[in-house]
């Protein structure tokens, strides 16, 4: 855990439009203290300089950024530092890079967090132009987006699936992806820090708070687990997640008793 990284992350999130590149690089630094955030930002700035003539999408496509097909679930594919090095990543990581480069180049590109897949929309024209960085930076019609939702999420498409999402939503989804990847690898300590950063993105989130309690208890940090649960219940006694948190608190206390 890095107090400096978390302090900077919180300060960045306090702004109206946090820089996605810096925010993701701070997530990288939380995972690996060797990550040089300033150097990563300089690389994003350089890509934006190249994009001045032809646009962010063309620049990133020509630079070889592509979807991580063979090792999709590798946590590195969510980290902008690794994406810049390896030039591959999962959809939301490539979209994060595209949004950050476009913003620096004066373009208007937004993230589209469809269920099951993440794409971008170029909002610079009369109508949005949807683009799928993961699949070769392919242009998408609305019908293509609908097919993606049906295929990847298994649910009917709705028009609001194409609504641009906020920077906070992108960061929250990035951290959720990382949590799942770490848990599938049996790495609960790493999953815990993704939850803790998630609570900076979405303070008081019931699901994240409960996940923090579960992971703290699983690490044998019962005092911290109980403190986290009690703090949530004291601040939000009427929250929809409160009953589940109370049950989790009982579980933590029972685990503590068994350890004595």
- 87 and 181 co-located in one domain: no
* Structural domain of 212: 168-259
- 159 and 88 co-located in one domain: yes
137 alpha carbon, distance to own chain's centre = 20
Share of the chain above pLDDT 90, in %: 92
- 142 and 19 co-located in one domain: yes
pLDDT tens across 92-103, in order?
999 999 999 999
> How are strands ordered across the β-sheet holding 109-114?
138-140, 129-132, 117-122, 109-114, 164-165
pLDDT at 228: 94
- 143 and 180 co-located in one domain: no
3 pLDDT band, cuts 50/70/90, is confident
- 104 and 181 co-located in one domain: no
In total, how many domains does the chain have? Answer: 2
The residue from 165, 183, 216 where one domain ends is 165
pLDDT of residue 260 exceeding 70, the answer is no
- 253 and 219 co-located in one domain: yes
pLDDT at 77: 97
2 pLDDT band, cuts 50/70/90, is confident
- 193 and 140 co-located in one domain: no
Residue in this structure with the two tokens 């960061």, named with its chain if needed: 171
- 78 and 154 co-located in one domain: yes
pLDDT at 53: 78
**Region 125-131: what's the mean pLDDT?**
93
The residue from 114, 131, 165 where one domain ends is 165
């Amino acid at each position: 855990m890095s107090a400096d990284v978390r302090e900077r992350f919180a300060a960045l999130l306090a702004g109206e439009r946090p820089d996605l590149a810096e925010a993701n690089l701070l997530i990288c630094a939380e995972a690996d203290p060797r990550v040089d955030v300033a150097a990563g930002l300089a690389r994003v700035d350089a890509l934006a300089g190249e994009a001045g003539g032809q646009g962010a999408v063309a620049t990133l496509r020509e630079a070889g950024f592509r979807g991580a097909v063979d090792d999709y679930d590798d946590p590195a594919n969510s980290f902008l530092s690794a994406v810049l090095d390896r030039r591959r990543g999962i959809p939301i990581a490539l979209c994060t890079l595209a949004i950050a480069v476009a913003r620096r180049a004066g373009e208007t590109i937004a993230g589209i967090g469809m269920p099951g897949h993440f794409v971008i929309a170029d909002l610079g024209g009369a109508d949005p132009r949807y683009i799928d960085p993961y699949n070769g930076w392919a242009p998408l019609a609305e019908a293509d987006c609908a097919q993606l939702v049906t295929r990847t999420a298994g649910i009917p498409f709705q028009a609001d699936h194409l609504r641009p999402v906020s920077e906070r939503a992108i960061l929250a989804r990035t951290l959720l992806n990382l949590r799942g990847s770490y848990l599938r690898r049996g790495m609960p300590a790493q999953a815990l820090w993704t939850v803790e950063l998630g609570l900076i993105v979405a303070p008081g989130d019931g699901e994240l708070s409960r996940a923090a309690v579960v992971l703290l208890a699983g690490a044998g940090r019962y005092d911290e687990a109980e403190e986290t649960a009690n703090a949530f219940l004291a601040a939000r006694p009427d929250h929809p997640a409160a009953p589940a948190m109370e049950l989790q608190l009982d579980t933590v206390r029972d685990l503590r008793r068994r350890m004595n």
